[in-house]
Structure 1
Amino acid sequence: MEEIFFIPYNYIGEIAGLVMGCLILLIMLYTSPKKTFVYKYVFRGTILSIVSILVHISILFVANNPDEYYNSFLFIFQLLLFLVLYNGILYFIFSYVNMMSIVRRRQRKEFLLMYSLLSAIYFIGVIVEIAATRLYSLELGGIDITHFVRFYSAAGIVCAIVCMNATISNRPNVARIIWYCVVTLVPVEIVLLASQILSVGLFHTVYSALSYVPVFTLGYILFHSNPYDEATGSQNEYGLVAYLDKHIGKRKMYICYVDLKYPNVGIFGDWVDDLFLKGLAICRAMEAIKPAFKIFRVSESKYVNLIEARDEKQFLSVINSIRGVLDGAKADAYVPFNYVIVSGEVPEDIGNPTKCRQFFEFVSRRFKDQNSSHFYVIKPIDYDDFLENYEISVALEDIRNRLDLEDERVLVYAQPIYSVETGSFRVAEALTRLKIGNQIISPDKFIPIAEASGTIHAITCIVLDKVCKAVESFSDYYDFDAISINISSREISQDNVNDDLMEIIEKYDFDISKIRFEITESAMFENFDRANDNMHLLTNSGIQFYLDDFGTGYSSFERVMNCPVKTIKFDKALLYKSLDDNRMDDIMSYMIEVFKKNGFVTLIEGVEDESQSQYSMERGFDYIQGYHYAKPEPIENMKKYFSRKNKY
């Protein structure tokens, strides 16, 4: 009789799965993954996978060496332990796939009931197999566990089919990337498990670990270490940068920049969840628009859509569809919201991903403070405006980084201010210009950029140093009271700003009272206490303050009088209104009287003709500033406006 030899099981596939599981677990532990709602299923599933593979390898090792290691009670315990662990793995896979849908999360009770039923059927099958002694059989030289492997592989196929069905039935609420993963991965899983059922009997090869470890690995890579968000199906800003870096300048690209403007959702209570679901519905509806485009979420409410359109006509059709989706969502939303859509082709010479994103954000900022929705298609002039803005930003960053107090790009002009009492020019206001190449940039263009980019303090320090140098050179030969410098509202609210300013002033030899600072009304509202403290410290050092642009903000008389301000500088808008409106004239006269009674000096700016000058004098202003008297000139020219001292 021919003797049949037992063929040892090959479990190299299990070892590969173990290595993969250990590596992904180490990455999870020693990086900073996105710990979303479903991350726990990936993390726990990976740990369970490693434990189950170790148990499975021990089963296969005993099956290959029964003479040395087989114990009936211990072996059946190993089989049962693996089957329990495998059911846990299927639970985490099933939970992960389903819980990536927000709608499914709201159906957790039904989900748990369904899986409890599947688990009950699974364990009933295990009991039947044990009772029929079919899980394994002893053979000459080994143990046959073919039926055991086929049993749990069949359970894995059932789980894969249920996951596919659940995803199909929930298709409208599933992100496109998740849909693609499921419809691609599940068939592969089914084929892999079906081949395992066949190969375990034919070739004694076991590799079932490769049917579940890659699921957790792929989930981690896609949604927790990498760009994709499982709820919205979008990538993050790093994904956007990588995509733009690869394709910008190499292919025609269209971008649709969407900024969703939500109200303070805290006041809407139970409707917050509905608002969140509405946002997800918007993402799903946009994904359904053809041709397909990629969605990148660059902040909580800002999205960049890269549209794969063959020409501008198709691009316009797509962005109009996006607009239709948002208008439809607005009409149905319980919580009101607005949006800004800025769309256009990416210019080939825009250069890099950062510059590309800045371009679209630059255009969208035009609608920042408007309480309505806007739909805007990029025009050629927008790119020209952005390039100027970009050059200014780059120059300001370089000026801040160098912090050269003699930087020739920062020009200091000054405008003399007429003293009504003396009939002469006693003070002047320093004004800043920025020189980039051969172009002189006015402050109304670069100051907002400097404030937004945090470079304004460097500009102030450079201007202050140049003004101090001019004041020192004038002091010995010319009779004047002071030159004032504008201080940003953000600066005066910063800690220790007075130390920086005084350090510059004290380098020079002149009476410190010849330097004065101008602040706007808004400075007293950003951080009133800190601004007030800094102003008191500088006042104690001998520096006077002007309150600039009075009448354009929201200052009360009480707050103004509690600040260490000496001069009230009325905005020109009040002057122009008072000339045409008797009621405003009465208010202006009253304010001047109140301030002068309380010891303040009054100054009016923007005086451009004789009638405005006459009106200002009649109303009792102490100082008058405007083109009618003098235009801004380089600060060195102020000496021609100041009286020369007599020398004996």
Structure 2
Amino acid sequence: MNDQVTSYYANYTATGDILVLAMCILFIVLIHTAYIKRTKNFIYLRAMIVMVIIASLSDIFFHLFMNGMGKYPNILIYIFRIVFHMCLAGNLWMYVIYLKEPLHLEYRENKKYVLISAALFILIGLFEILGTVFRFGFYIDEAGSARSVFPVFFVGYVCFLAIIMYLVYQYRDRIFRPILIGVLATVGISLWLIIIQQIHSQSSFTTATFIFPIYAILYLVHSNPYDIESGALGKDAFLDKIRTSYEKGRDLLLMSLYLPDFDKGDGVFPPEIASSIRYFVVYFFRGATLFKLTSGHIVLVVDIQRNPDYQYLCNKMIDEFNKVYPIYNRNYKIVIMETWDKVSQNNDYEGLIRYIHSRMPENSIRRVEVRDIKEYLDTVFIRDQLADIANKRNLKDERVLVFCQPVYNIHTGCYDTAEALMRLDLPELGIVYPDKFIPVAEQNNDIQILTKIILSKTCAQIRKIMDEGYIIKRISVNFSVLDLRENDFCAIVQKIIRESGISYDSIAIEITETQSEKDFKLIKKRVNDLKGSGIKFYLDDFGTGYSNFERIMEIPFDIIKFDRSLVIGAAGDDKLKSMMAHLAKMFADMDYDVLYEGVENEADETRCIDMSANYLQGYKYSKPIPIEQLKEYLQKKTEAGVE
């Protein structure tokens, strides 16, 4: 071997290739133990890893046979050297193909570069073989010396890198900046290491330079710190950002964009929207980071200390958003807020933003105020208290209160029925009204235990009222469709009433009609199953939402409750009043009792009596009161001459 070639191969150590093999094995283990989406690009990545493994093994055997030149046929040296170089060249070819997705290349663009790189791959193979045959490349002469005239592979390597660098630079606006920097850095380091090896006549770490880009791809893309479309980090990274910023005492600005159209299906942003998102991330705030909480929900996090003019920049970004919005015309909700210590402590900004979303219309922007945060924290506290109530399942839980509103019986001229109403008495918050906790209870499937507690306490109070000699015909309790869906609903209701020691007809169940055919059939079945026991049934909130006369006729209700909105509306609308009067007369003719709620003055009372009322309920008679005070409105049996 001539001196230069001798030095080049004699300086080789297998340490670099063995290290590469170990890293590839580690990659394979990590890939199979972690969830990685099996996309086409992932297949390319696996092919790159396999080719690096083959290249490392080929390099080891090539140098093994070189050191034992004369003991083995020269053909083995040529074969392992060509396999080594072709695997590395194939790796670079796969890298070019891989860039199609991150760079969002069109079919024609991608086809051009794939064909160019394929041609380069074939040329490297041909020149490697021809260089050996015609002795203008690597060959072993008659004296048994290894010679290398023209560095075919090195030239091909540089050409591949030129293609990759050109692609990345040409389409740099299509790729998220951190990924762009990662690709350029790893390719640059690989090239630098190859050049250093050439200068020092060394070849031990050639294969190692090909593992750097694979590592970058595996970390930047397939380990999912960044969403390849929008350049966003994942939810775990968002939580970590909030936690570390709170620990360091750094205030953040959060700008949330929710696109409900992309919370369905695969949730992939179209290239034009992804491009706009990247623009907003990069060109407004210093050091801003984008996070993707769900497929359609992204949050831009801005360090306020690094952006003292954040309010101006925020307004500027919103102005720019309003300009580009008509182009895409997608439904959106934008929430803007600064971090707040109590929310940061629990790291629950995702929940807070969802809460704000539920209270804002589509295509609107909401700047969160302290009042919004306090309302959300109250809601979270209520949710936790409801969960505790549900877990303990104590029908005497003191946090659940029964209020009631007396109902005036027109025919008897006294109060002999009432409607039970639910309240919560919670530490820190005091009395909590249904509009605050019922939606939370229904959302978290805690409504059933609350209804059971109210029914149990109402039955106990009826028993007490009767024992004290007062006349009480019945008290109605509101039930939701969620209650009726329980398989043992009828058995539970009958058991609670029976164990309280009162008759079944002392309880009425109020149900609101539903539009769902399945729920309608369920309501009909439950009513028919319990009707025979003597329990009464009210159709609640008639005239609001969904009302179907054919369905009403199919269910044996006892009382039709006209909603208070109709009572209020009839005061200034003669047509509505006439319609209500005809409906009430029709119900009365069919032996339904009619109850009007929302009666607030004598004019309401007179109008409702004229409209076939049997019962009246409202603030004219009483506001909701603790059920323990109900007896103040009731007659004693001795006063009514009842034994």
| TM-score after normalising by structure 1 | 0.88
Q: 1:129 to 1:406 in 2, by over 3 A?
A: farther
**1:323 aligns to what?**
318
Aligned pairs for 1:217-256 (under 5 A) are 217-248=215-246, 250-256=249-255
Contact 1:532-1:563 within 8 A present in 2 as well: yes
**1:48 aligns to what?**
51
**2:278 aligns to what?**
284
> SS at the partner of 2:511?
strand
Aligned pairs for 1:90-489 (under 5 A) are 90-104=92-106, 107-133=109-135, 136-137=138-139, 151-199=152-200, 201=201, 203=202, 205-248=203-246, 250-262=249-261, 276-292=270-286, 293-310=288-305, 314-333=309-328, 336-352=329-345, 354-367=347-360, 370-371=361-362, 373-437=363-427, 439-476=430-467, 477-489=469-481
> SS at the partner of 1:208?
coil
1:262-321 deviation digits (Å, cap 9, x = unpaired): 39999xxxxx99972332122122123232311111112211110133388621223223
> SS at the partner of 1:98?
coil
Say which is worse superposed, 472-481 or 579-588, in terms of deviation: 472-481
> SS at the partner of 1:576?
helix
Contact 1:34-1:225 within 8 A present in 2 as well: no
Q: Say which of 10, 23, 26 aligns to 1:23.
A: 26
1:588-629 deviation digits (Å, cap 9, x = unpaired): 112212333334332111111111111111101222111111
1:339-394 deviation digits (Å, cap 9, x = unpaired): 22221211234343533333333333321xx34x2223233333333332332233
Contact 2:281-2:300 within 8 A present in 1 as well: no
Aligned residue type for 2:353: F
Structure 2 runs not aligned, ≥5 long: none
**1:572 aligns to what?**
564
1:437-485 deviation digits (Å, cap 9, x = unpaired): 2521111122222223333223223223322332343455443332222
Q: 1:633 to 1:101 in 2, by over 3 A?
A: same
Aligned partners of 1:158 and 1:494: how far apart in 2? 70
Aligned residues: 632
Q: 1:275 to 1:624 in 2, by over 3 A?
A: same
Q: Say which of 34, 38, 41 aligns to 1:38.
A: 41
**2:85 aligns to what?**
83
Contact 2:404-2:627 within 8 A present in 1 as well: yes
Aligned partners of 1:312 and 1:522: how far apart in 2? 52
Does the alignment pair 1:617 with 2:609? yes
Contact 1:410-1:459 within 8 A present in 2 as well: yes
> SS at the partner of 2:397?
coil
Aligned residue type for 1:602: V
Q: 1:638 to 1:121 in 2, by over 3 A?
A: same
Query: Structure 1 vs Structure 2: percent identity of aligned residues?
Result: 25
Aligned residue type for 1:251: R
Contact 2:383-2:440 within 8 A present in 1 as well: yes
Aligned partners of 2:267 and 2:517: how far apart in 1? 34
**1:269 aligns to what?**
none
Q: 1:174 to 1:516 in 2, by over 3 A?
A: same
Q: Say which of 536, 545, 550 aligns to 1:553.
A: 545
> SS at the partner of 1:627?
coil
Say which is worse superposed, 95-104 or 405-414, in terms of deviation: 95-104
Q: 1:163 to 1:475 in 2, by over 3 A?
A: farther
RMSD over aligned Cα, in angstroms?
A: 3.4
Q: 1:206 to 1:483 in 2, by over 3 A?
A: same
> SS at the partner of 2:10?
coil
Q: 1:130 to 1:565 in 2, by over 3 A?
A: farther
Aligned partners of 2:106 and 2:281: how far apart in 1? 20
1:393-415 deviation digits (Å, cap 9, x = unpaired): 33223323333322222111111
Contact 1:465-1:505 within 8 A present in 2 as well: yes
Aligned partners of 2:292 and 2:263: how far apart in 1? 20
1:519-552 deviation digits (Å, cap 9, x = unpaired): 3234757844445444544546654332222222
Aligned partners of 2:410 and 2:548: how far apart in 1? 27
- Per the TM alignment, residue 254 of structure 1 is displaced from its structure 2 partner at its CA by 0.9
1:90-132 deviation digits (Å, cap 9, x = unpaired): 2322222332233456744334333333323333333332323
Aligned partners of 2:496 and 2:407: how far apart in 1? 25
Q: 1:105 to 1:450 in 2, by over 3 A?
A: farther
Aligned residue type for 2:83: L
1:319-339 deviation digits (Å, cap 9, x = unpaired): 223323432332223xx3232
Aligned residue type for 2:46: F
Does the alignment pair 1:634 with 2:626? yes
Aligned partners of 2:204 and 2:532: how far apart in 1? 84
Aligned residue type for 1:290: F
Q: 1:389 to 1:75 in 2, by over 3 A?
A: same
Say which is worse superposed, 349-358 or 425-434, in terms of deviation: 349-358
Does the alignment pair 1:593 with 2:591? no
- Per the TM alignment, residue 66 of structure 1 is displaced from its structure 2 partner at its CA by 4.2
Aligned partners of 2:77 and 2:149: how far apart in 1? 15
Aligned partners of 2:115 and 2:76: how far apart in 1? 33
Aligned residue type for 1:190: L
Say which is worse superposed, 306-315 or 230-239, in terms of deviation: 306-315
Aligned partners of 1:239 and 1:395: how far apart in 2? 30
1:159-199 deviation digits (Å, cap 9, x = unpaired): 23322211221122212222121232221121122233344
Aligned partners of 1:623 and 1:448: how far apart in 2? 29
Aligned partners of 2:573 and 2:563: how far apart in 1? 16
| TM-score after normalising by structure 2 | 0.88
Contact 1:103-1:173 within 8 A present in 2 as well: no
Contact 2:82-2:125 within 8 A present in 1 as well: no
Contact 1:548-1:569 within 8 A present in 2 as well: yes
1:171-230 deviation digits (Å, cap 9, x = unpaired): 22212222121232221121122233344x3x4x42223222232233223323333111
Q: 1:505 to 1:126 in 2, by over 3 A?
A: farther
- Per the TM alignment, residue 13 of structure 1 is displaced from its structure 2 partner at its CA by 1.3
